[in-house]
Amino acid sequence: MRTVATESRKLTILVVDDEMIVRDSLGAWFREDGYRVETAENAREALRLAAEGRHDVAFLDIKMPGVDGLELQARLKEVAPDLAVVVMTAYASVDSAVRALKAGAQDYIVKPFDPEQLSALLRRIEETRALRSENVRLKSALDGAAAPPIVGRSPAMRRLLEVVESVAKTDATVLIRGESGTGKELVARAIHQQSARRYNPLVAVHCGALAEGVLESELFGHEKGAFTGAAYHHKGKFEQADGGTIFLDEIGEISPKVQVELLRVLEEKRVTRVGGKVAIPVDFRVVAATNRDLRAMAKAGEFREDLFWRLDVVSVEIPPLRDRREDVPLLAQHFAGCLGRSMNRRNLRLTPAALEALTECDWPGNVRELQNAIERAIVLGRKDEIDAKDLPTRPGGGAPTANARSLEELERAHIARILDETGWNITHAAAVLEIDRGTLYNKIRKYELTKPDHAA
Amino acid sequence: MPHDGPVLAVRLLRVGAVPQALLRDLAARVSMVASLPCRVGVAAGVEPVALPGRAQVDADRLLLGLEGLPREPGAVTAGVTDADMGSAIFTHHFGRARHGGRALVISLARLKPEFYGLPQDRGLLLRRASLEFLHELGHVWGLGHCRDNGCIMRFVPTVEGIDNRGTAFCAACASAVALPPALAPR
């Protein structure tokens, strides 16, 4: 026979009392009401259980042999900072009540308990915790809502938006492919925002930026003491994404070890924290992204084939900007509008010549590079009109530094461009380059840069 | 521990000074609400134990005593006491039963309107007692508390709660256990 009330997601309670009758009776009463309950007969046992991070609230008896309830309350704060604490006693005193409440206890209750008061206390704790998680969820949803829209009217982008709309309605795993700077995270956010999970968190992990051990801990969490410096248990990104979407960017960069662990999590929908023993059930949707050819990597044995197939359920390809040049003017005007508003220059506009120059550019860094170019032109320019000469573009090429091979070539090209953009104003150029004027003069001499006749 | 097979009958036993007529009327109501044959008797040998320093009897020990009484297969032993019941942990209990146990106990003390300074009302007392009996019988069947406002298995800490709570099992609770046909939700 099952207990009906336990089906709903309710608090997990830790009852700490040296008297068995209290542990048993209180535990049974909570369980009868559908709560999950664990009990401990002393502080040592309580600290061990609390460190596993499963509990929402702990009921602590004050009078216990060894470490008493008030001292335990202080120690619990170190191992489980989010745990709500209710202090209970058969020997009420003003002193102990003040100490407990000052130390952050939710309540101080006296045995025997009035069922009505105890029931109301649990409802209050439940409401507080629900409000807290709702707050986190709404903040996350607001972050998602603030994401910029996907801009583009080219046939390629229209097809992409159609795919995003259809796939968002499902819970299928999505693999987004595209060169750097094409807006893979933007597409992931669009999928999340159009899905039924939109009111739950979207958690992004940039897998390529983290070392293997750090990535494991970030993704799966860790228990206290799992490694040097793990002073607290830590919920990983999968647990944080419970009910929502996890976005795994640069998935092609993860190590074989993490690939194995990730595959297990995707298959079982359960996460075991680093150093932990308990597999925690988690409800998430995966959207992954890469700028690499994962299929080829899988064939070459550089990426697990089973993980590739698990990720490549629905594949979304974002075309590079050079293959959809008709979107460049729209994107440029969109960025000029957004950046102009944020810099309080609301009348900014791009001249037809500027738009033409931008459209002819190849943009190897894609949308991100285009955005940076517009931003640079706004920052350095003083007029409301952005013309072709204000832009660091070369017809048919990317930014002038794009073809530089060595570091010196790159530095020479970059300094030349900044000098050009600032009209050879040395003070201004040095400030943009974040070097002093003397250094800039030295570099001009070293690279034999000369001021063109038309420069101011 | 699950109950040994379906509940086929109830033995309603007086613990202490419960008027015989009241017990008989309660048996008739219990028989009606639970749709089970109900016989009355005395809980011979079950002595209420007072809680130290409190004018109450220990509900847990009373339940233990009732569980120890001999009973026929399929029968549930239901004790009824006039005394106010409490426990080491709680200030009071309207009733007590163990999940999947074989016995239950209800206290009439806090079900009486006069406990709250109101005029006696025998009909109201019988209604409350029979509903509390049915709630505890739900625990004997293995049901926990339910969040459905209309379900008799909802936990209510006050007598007003008993008056306002539903008088039948909700569909979820009913589907969790094999209820007698008369108790299935309509």
Q: Which residue has the tokens 């460190």?
A: A51
Per-residue pLDDT band for A428 (boundaries 50, 70, 90) equals confident
Residues of chain A with pLDDT > 90: what percent? 46
Q: Which helix (H) or strand (E) holds B38?
A: strand B38-42
| B35 near A CB under 8 A | no
Residue type, A386: I
Closest CA to A93 of A85, A101, A81: A101
Which chain B positions have a beta carbon within 8 Å of A111's beta carbon? 88-89
Q: Write down the pLDDT at residue A7.
A: 35
Q: What is the mean pLDDT of residues B27-47?
A: 89
Q: Which helix (H) or strand (E) holds A383?
A: none
Q: What is the residue-wise DSSP string for A274-298?
A: BT--PEEE---EEEEEESS-HHHHH
Per-residue pLDDT band for A170 (boundaries 50, 70, 90) equals very high
Task: Say whether pLDDT at A455 is over 70.
Answer: no
Closest CA in chain A for residue B148: A5
Bridge partners (DSSP) of residue A78 are none
Report the distance separating Cα B9 and Cα B24, nearest Å.
15
CA distance B21 to chain A (A): 31
Q: Write down the pLDDT at residue A12.
A: 92
Q: How does strand A285-290 pair with strand A174-177? A: parallel
Against a cut of 0.80, is the pTM above it?
A: no
| B99 near A CB under 8 A | yes
Reading the block at residue A147, the tokens are 């994401």
Q: Write down the pLDDT at residue B71.
A: 86
Per-residue pLDDT band for A76 (boundaries 50, 70, 90) equals very high
Range in A290-294, B2-6, B128-132 the model is least confident about: B2-6
Task: Say whether pLDDT at A141 is over 80.
Answer: no
Residue ranges with strand state E in B64-142: 75-81, 85-86, 95-97, 103-107
Q: What is the mean pLDDT of residues B29-45?
A: 88
| B136 near A CB under 8 A | no
Residue ranges with strand state E in A383-435: 385-386
Q: Does the beta-carbon distance from A1 to B144 stay under 8 Å?
A: no
Closest CA in chain A for residue B157: A116
Report the distance separating Cα A379 and Cα A339, nearest Å.
10
CB-CB contact of A112 with B90 (8 Å):
yes
Which chain A positions have a beta carbon within 8 Å of B60's beta carbon? 25
Closest CA to B30 of B169, B174, B127: B127
Q: Write down the pLDDT at residue B95.
A: 96
**Highest mean pLDDT (candidates A212-226, A278-292, A357-371):** A278-292
Q: What is the residue-wise DSSP string for A214-249?
A: HHHHHHH-B-TTSSTT--S-B--HHHHTTTSEEEEE
CA distance A22 to chain B (A): 6
Q: Write down the pLDDT at residue A434.
A: 79
Q: What is the mean pLDDT of residues A340-356?
A: 87
Q: Which residues contact A28 (CB under 8 A, 6 or more apart)?
A: none
DSSP annotation of B13: E
Q: Write down the pLDDT at residue A405.
A: 65
Q: Write down the pLDDT at residue A401.
A: 52
Per-residue pLDDT band for A4 (boundaries 50, 70, 90) equals very low
**CA dihedral sign of residues A60, A128, A281, A146:** negative
Q: Rg of chain B over CA atoms, in angstroms?
A: 15
Interface predicted TM-score (ipTM) over 0.90? no
Report the distance separating Cα A233 and Cα A226, nearest Å.
8
Residue ranges with strand state E in A97-251: 107-110, 174-177, 202-206, 245-249
Chain A interface residues (partner B, CB cutoff 8 A): 1-6, 8, 21-22, 25-26, 29, 31-34, 111-116, 118-119
| B89 near A CB under 8 A | yes
Three-state DSSP class for residue A150: coil
Q: Write down the pLDDT at residue A1.
A: 32
Q: How does strand A314-317 pair with strand A270-272? A: unpaired
Q: Write down the pLDDT at residue A447.
A: 86
Report the distance separating Cα A208 and Cα A198, nearest Å.
26
Task: Say whether pLDDT at A8 is over 50.
Answer: no
| B64 near A CB under 8 A | no
Range in A185-189, A419-423, B92-96, B137-141 the model is least confident about: A419-423
CB-CB contact of A247 with A287 (8 Å):
yes
CA distance A20 to chain B (A): 11
| B177 near A CB under 8 A | yes
Q: What is the mean pLDDT of residues B49-68?
A: 94
Q: Which residues of B are catalytic?
A: 136
Range in A167-176, A196-205, A326-335, B93-102 the model is least confident about: A196-205
CB-CB contact of B84 with B92 (8 Å):
yes
- The verdict on whether omega for the bond into residue A112 sits within 30 degrees of 0, i.e. cis, is yes
- Count of CB atoms within 10 A of residue A60's CB? 26
pLDDT digits (tens, 9 = 90+) for A369-396: 898 889 888 888 778 888 888 887 554 4
Q: Write down the pLDDT at residue A432.
A: 80
pLDDT digits (tens, 9 = 90+) for B67-102: 999 988 889 999 999 999 999 899 999 999 988 888
Q: Does the beta-carbon distance from A25 to B89 stay under 8 Å?
A: yes
**CA dihedral sign of residues A350, A355, A357, A358:** positive
CB-CB contact of A249 with A204 (8 Å):
yes
Report the distance separating Cα B127 and Cα B115, nearest Å.
16
Q: Write down the pLDDT at residue A404.
A: 57
Residue type, A343: M
Q: What is the mean pLDDT of residues A60-79?
A: 92
Closest CA in chain B for residue A27: B89
Per-residue pLDDT band for A348 (boundaries 50, 70, 90) equals confident
CB-CB contact of B18 with B81 (8 Å):
yes
Reading the block at residue A1, the tokens are 């026979």
Q: Does the beta-carbon distance from B153 to A4 stay under 8 Å?
A: yes
Q: What is the mean pLDDT of residues A207-235?
A: 83
| B2 near A CB under 8 A | yes
Residue type, A430: A
Report the distance separating Cα A349 and Cα A330, nearest Å.
12
Q: Which residue has the tokens 């009913």?
A: B174
Closest CA in chain A for residue B61: A21
Which chain A positions have a beta carbon within 8 Å of B90's beta carbon? 25, 29, 112-115, 118
Q: Does the beta-carbon distance from B157 to A3 stay under 8 Å?
A: no
Q: What is the mean pLDDT of residues A161-175?
A: 93
CB-CB contact of A288 with A294 (8 Å):
no
Task: Say whether pLDDT at B167 is over 60.
Answer: yes
Q: What is the mean pLDDT of residues A32-37?
A: 90
| B129 near A CB under 8 A | no
Return phi, psi of residue B79, to 5°. Answer: -90, 145
Per-residue pLDDT band for A70 (boundaries 50, 70, 90) equals very high
pLDDT digits (tens, 9 = 90+) for A302-341: 999 999 999 999 999 999 999 999 999 999 999 998 888 8
Q: Write down the pLDDT at residue B4.
A: 58
Choose the mutation target among B89, B91, B155, B165 for the interface with A, i.e. most A CBs under 10 Å: B89
Q: Write down the pLDDT at residue A403.
A: 56
CB-CB contact of A218 with A236 (8 Å):
yes
Q: What is the mean pLDDT of residues A184-204?
A: 89
